[in-house]
Structure 1
């Protein structure tokens, strides 16, 4: 995100206009991230994973540039349906589902699902004429902060038995899928997983099972340390090379979530209290780990933070959130200016697993989302003589079910 396009003065004006806290959502950045990844993986159909930022504006922006969507629950189905997304552009990738979840997705028109065990496979027997299944494989990756193979996926050694079981039950299994973990530091595990899947696909073909799809999941990283763009083309180069060895005419899919969502939002919150405890300055802001900074707990992410203050003095300090819970700490031992009530805290790279996982603990409302076409447009409108900001769409985010 080109955060330099918004000056400190811009953010102060936005606080006066909209109140604090809020998240600024740049839809041009959403589209740009998608198009960068599409260029890096030109032969892939990219299904935006809705879960890190389930937002109507984001869905519309991605739909406009040709994205498909990856769904994991009924609420996400409702969201994409409300934005006119075709079910043909959707896959349902939650490995564990209730029968009612399967029926709900089929009623929408989404027919591609995932399974990773025999119990889950048997749930599709009543719907075998209407579904296409992907077998999800596990590729543990301790290098990632969130290893998604810990909870889901069969081992490669189990794959052939589960593929044959689907065929014996008359259920149409059409491909393989995997996810090497969130925020992969390098493409090594993607490549290893693709190579393993290549062997399974060829073995399945030899046994008369025609697999037509490989879904490599997500894991494409963003730069939380510096809040800079990732060289996604370089990251994907080994993935492209590995895919060149796959059988021809295999349909390739990916499920980017964080890579698209994270860079599109910044957070702005205000200092609402100042204290000194054990000779350490404590600054209390009106957003915290129960709110937009929830990803610091759930997602194991430390967001880049800065403050807007006139003080030249700095000191090791504590940033605390607004709730009555002592776990609501944003940072300790952080070098900060001497802040006063009304000074601002700015968080960067806050699009993924922030508002999506925020709560209203203590009945403190979630931060508003200010959704704009671009940061350039927001800058122009905040500095126009007309005090109204007509093209901004401000949403008070409802509690997620």
Structure 2
């Protein structure tokens, strides 16, 4: 049985440039005619662009792609060839990167709460660095003290982020030295600290606050006679634009760069971008399978919805830009609903649209993150097929040299 990331996936290689946010209407119609709908079209060239724009905004920071927003084999292979590192959280994610020939030394395991089987499977693969945030979690590593090293995750609450991840994970800053001391007594090496200010963080202020606090903690640990800390993981959460503009990434990261410059020179800095790399890299194509006028408004029933590619509206609090390929005619208050029998399955209950017909195509943009990854087959409506474009960049020689330099192997899915 193939892993999920390799099933129901098609690859196309158009000769012209492709941007998942500007795919032409004729191209969209052509893909729907060729593959049917619903579709999720993933553009690896956009993945590369996002990766390199963040890399330029955070020079000297090792970017570990967080698989969970878009755990697709083609995306992993694409980033492998660009020299990226990877952030894993489960045995399934370990299996995915292993299948794409990712060396274990390019991976860390960042889930703060793990099953023992998750630890064993990651260690068997060769991953050495894990994350913990409490005494009970540290005790899990006593039996693996000769093979595993830890980062202590610190909580920095960020209510302004769309998803405040420090609500669920991380210890208070005042507990850090005690946890490092506990690990030292058990013979477990603590390599450094980590934090995550929350997903879709709209301001860099919390990153700066967290970096400054961790810089102080690194100094305090040294003064306390604890082992020197040489890694700081600043997490992910870098924002992308859905329906509202966000600060350009270079400008967003400027105060972060300034804060990182004050770290001791021996500290390696890593980050865990997920949404920033994945979200702009895909569009969803669905079609109208039925229509009805209810209470004076047109309801259009699509073959994709909240239980499918639009699942992020429930789980990720996202609101995706949605357009249609029909433009002529008067606009009417309308409802876009998903295909299932559940009344909650409504994508937008107040959108102005021209009158659509059965078979018309509807396009969701910025749909690479937390869409296909959390889609289901509820009501036996199959999730969208994935169509991958531009798996290989134009400069194949560059890919070969990067792969050799990074020690990677394998091929794109």
Tell me the residue number matched to 2:260: 243
Structure 2 SS opposite 1:239: helix
Tell me the residue number matched to 2:147: 130
Q: CA shift at 1:235, angstroms?
A: 0.6
Quote the Cα distance in structure 1 between the aligned partners of 2:161 and 2:352.
28
Q: CA shift at 1:4, angstroms?
A: 6.5
Q: CA shift at 1:2, angstroms?
A: 3.5
Structure 2 SS opposite 1:180: coil
Structure 1 SS opposite 2:54: helix
How do residues 115-194 of structure 1 correspond to structure 2 at under 5 angstroms? 115-194=132-211
Residue pair 1:28, 1:374 contacting (<8 A) in 2 also: yes
Q: Deviations over 1:149-195 (max 9, x none)?
A: 01000010111111111111111001000000000001000000000
Q: Give structure 2 stretches of 5+ with no counterpart.
A: 1-17, 395-411
Quote the Cα distance in structure 2 between the aligned partners of 1:250 and 1:57.
32
Residue pair 2:299, 2:337 contacting (<8 A) in 1 also: yes
Tell me the residue number matched to 2:269: 252
CA gap of 1:375–1:3, structure 2 versus 1, over 3 A, is farther
Q: CA shift at 1:6, angstroms?
A: 2.3
Tell me the residue number matched to 1:286: 303
Residue pair 1:96, 1:120 contacting (<8 A) in 2 also: yes
Residue pair 1:269, 1:346 contacting (<8 A) in 2 also: yes
Is residue 221 of structure 1 aligned with residue 239 of structure 2? yes
Is residue 196 of structure 1 aligned with residue 201 of structure 2? no
Q: CA shift at 1:375, angstroms?
A: 12
Quote the Cα distance in structure 2 between the aligned partners of 1:315 and 1:255.
43
| Aligned-residue CA RMSD (Å) | 1.9
Quote the Cα distance in structure 2 between the aligned partners of 1:166 and 1:315.
63
Tell me the residue number matched to 2:315: 298
Q: CA shift at 1:242, angstroms?
A: 0.3
Q: Give structure 1 stretches of 5+ with no counterpart.
A: 378-393, 396-401
Quote the Cα distance in structure 2 between the aligned partners of 1:6 and 1:375.
18
Q: Deviations over 1:85-122 (max 9, x none)?
A: 00000000000011111101000000100000000000
CA gap of 1:10–1:375, structure 2 versus 1, over 3 A, is farther
1:62 to 71, 79, 86: 79
Q: CA shift at 1:374, angstroms?
A: 7.4
Structure 1 SS opposite 2:166: coil
**204-213 or 320-329, larger mean C-alpha shift:** 204-213
Quote the Cα distance in structure 2 between the aligned partners of 1:170 and 1:4.
51
CA gap of 1:261–1:126, structure 2 versus 1, over 3 A, is same
1:274 to 281, 284, 291: 291
Is residue 53 of structure 1 aligned with residue 75 of structure 2? no
Point out 4+ residue stretches in structure 1 off by more than 2 angstroms: 1-6, 374-377
Quote the Cα distance in structure 1 between the aligned partners of 2:124 and 2:392.
39
Quote the Cα distance in structure 2 between the aligned partners of 1:13 and 1:171.
57
Q: How many residues align?
A: 379
Residue pair 2:239, 2:246 contacting (<8 A) in 1 also: no
Quote the Cα distance in structure 2 between the aligned partners of 1:264 and 1:368.
15
1:211 to 222, 226, 229: 229
Structure 2 SS opposite 1:184: coil
Tell me the residue number matched to 1:42: 59
Quote the Cα distance in structure 1 between the aligned partners of 2:209 and 2:316.
25
1:337 to 332, 348, 354: 354
Residue pair 2:78, 2:391 contacting (<8 A) in 1 also: no
CA gap of 1:249–1:21, structure 2 versus 1, over 3 A, is same
Residue pair 1:29, 1:374 contacting (<8 A) in 2 also: no
Q: Deviations over 1:286-332 (max 9, x none)?
A: 00000000000000000001011154111111100000100000001
TM-score, reference length from structure 2: 0.89
How do residues 317-332 of structure 1 correspond to structure 2 at under 5 angstroms? 317-332=334-349
Quote the Cα distance in structure 2 between the aligned partners of 1:124 and 1:79.
24
Structure 1 SS opposite 2:211: helix
Quote the Cα distance in structure 1 between the aligned partners of 2:74 and 2:335.
35
Quote the Cα distance in structure 2 between the aligned partners of 1:126 and 1:3.
47
Q: Deviations over 1:245-290 (max 9, x none)?
A: 1111110000000000000000110001000111111000000000
Tell me the residue number matched to 1:391: none
CA gap of 1:239–1:376, structure 2 versus 1, over 3 A, is closer
